[in-house]
Amino acid sequence: MSNPLRVIISGGGTGGHIFPAVAIANELRRRHPDAAILFVGANGRMEMTRVPEAGYDIVGLDISGLQRRLTPQNLLFPVKVFRSVRRAGKLIEDFLPDAVVGVGGYASAPVLLAAASRAIPSLIQEQNSYAGLVNKLLGRRVACICVAYEGMEKFFPADKLVLTGNPVRAEIVGGNRAEALAFFGLDPAKKTLLVVGGSLGARTLNLATAAALPRLQAAGVQLLWQTGKLYYPEAKQQAAPYAAGGLYAYEFIRRMDLAYAAADVVVSRAGALSVSELALTGKACILVPSPNVAEDHQTKNALALVGKGAAVLITDAHAAERLYDEALRLLADEPRQQQLQARVLELARPDATTAIVDELLKLIKN
């Protein structure tokens, strides 16, 4: 490896794909500052802005997923795939990568297919406990599959699996509680609830939280509520009358290290990245899986924690009536919080990013 490393990282669509991809790129660059790293995403998706914000170049493909009902877009799907694979092949021939990484999402399939057809070493990073369709289809064509959960041989060839955990942004760990409370203007004598609905927001969580604002204020609970861009204008108005009691709505919380440090309990969707962050930060959590994801994989992610006594599960359908009963109970029960914290910490894999990059460099070396 005397020449600078050249790596393509493909995929995206949500923060659950993008943040692990950036974490892998950052670790690669930490070890090899002269490495050339190119991201490939899907035009119109959030990676096209988030990746450049992280300091990396990205190229977009005109690719989208299959709709669950018959639509004109579905009729165009085979054409888009063919064109995207051809475009990905041209990118690979121009960039000449030593290896390709796929993190899931629409754009990873054409790039991994193009790499496999050219015998370029490829690695998949599967974040979820239930493998995504793209990764399942391509599992036999790549050299290595890094996973975050045990039992993934039901989706992939067992001899290609490496249990690494999910790459998590290094900056979310180690927030100081006193600094966090000061940063958000919170009272150290009160309990704090953090509500996060993923990078795009979550309608169910937002509706339930808005309805619970009077209860939270009456209970003397403080709130950090990340709403997502779409829901923020309404949520900001809803939370404004309660700001004096420390109940705040945010479109997006950039200092998640401090948000986690301030929180006694976290209410969250159960995306793979969120679950990994909760484990790494050791947070007592209530998971409300999104029902609007492929193969209901968020429920499976949540059950992987619940089965080990590391989280509480409330279904999306029951969130309106049950979520804040459970949240207030848990906030008042410190021994139960401590039990959940201890169990979820046992599932943390703080060296996941290092392990994935180790596997990638092995592929290149061999």
Give yes or no for a contact between 93 and 3, defined as CB atoms under 8 angstroms apart. Answer: no
- Is 66's pLDDT higher than 90? no
**Topology adopted by domain 6-166+350-365:** Rossmann fold (3.40.50)
221 pLDDT more than 60: yes
In this prediction, residue 67 has a pLDDT band, given cuts at 50, 70 and 90, of very low
For the chain, the domains span 6-166+350-365, 171-346
The pLDDT score that the predictor gives to residue 74 is 46
Annotated binding residues, written as ranges, equal 14-16, 128, 169, 199, 253, 272-277, 298
Report whether pLDDT(287) > 50.
Answer: yes
The dihedrals phi and psi of 102, each to the nearest 5 degrees, come to -110, 130
Give the pLDDT score at 200: 67
Q: Which residues are annotated as a binding site for UDP-N-acetyl-alpha-D-glucosamine?
A: 14-16, 128, 169, 199, 253, 272-277, 298
Predicted pLDDT of residue 15: 73
Total residues found in the chain within this entry: 366
Q: Spelled out in words, what is the top-level CATH class assigned to the domain 171-346?
A: alpha beta
- Predicted pLDDT at 113: 93
- Residues 22-48 have a mean pLDDT of 95
Q: Is the pLDDT of residue 247 over 50?
A: yes
Q: Is residue 69 scored above 60 in pLDDT?
A: no
Are the beta carbons of 226 and 250 closer than 8 angstroms? yes
- Report which secondary-structure segment, H or E, holds 36: strand 36-42
Model pLDDT for residues 224-240, shown as the tens digit of each residue:
999 998 999 999 999 99
Contact 248/186 with Cβ under 8 angstroms? no
The pLDDT confidence band at residue 65, using thresholds 50, 70 and 90, is low
Q: In this structure, are residues 220 and 191 in contact, taking their beta carbons and an 8 Å threshold?
A: yes
Question: Hey, what are 190's tokens?
Answer: 């009160």
Query: Above pLDDT 70, what percent of the chain?
Result: 94
Q: Please count the other Cβ atoms lying within 10 Å of the Cβ belonging to residue 52.
A: 12
Tokens 């930060």 locate to 281
* pLDDT confidence bin for 171, thresholds 50/70/90: confident
- 276, pLDDT greater than 80: yes
Ramachandran quadrant class, 174 (left: phi over 0; alpha: psi -120 to 50; beta: rest) = left
User: What is the reported pTM?
Assistant: 0.84
Residue 25 has pLDDT above 70, yes or no: yes
Is the pLDDT confidence value at 32 over 50? yes
For residues 193 and 226, is the Cβ–Cβ distance under 8 A? no
pLDDT tens digits, 253-268: 989 999 999 999 999 9
Same fold, 6-166+350-365 and 171-346: yes
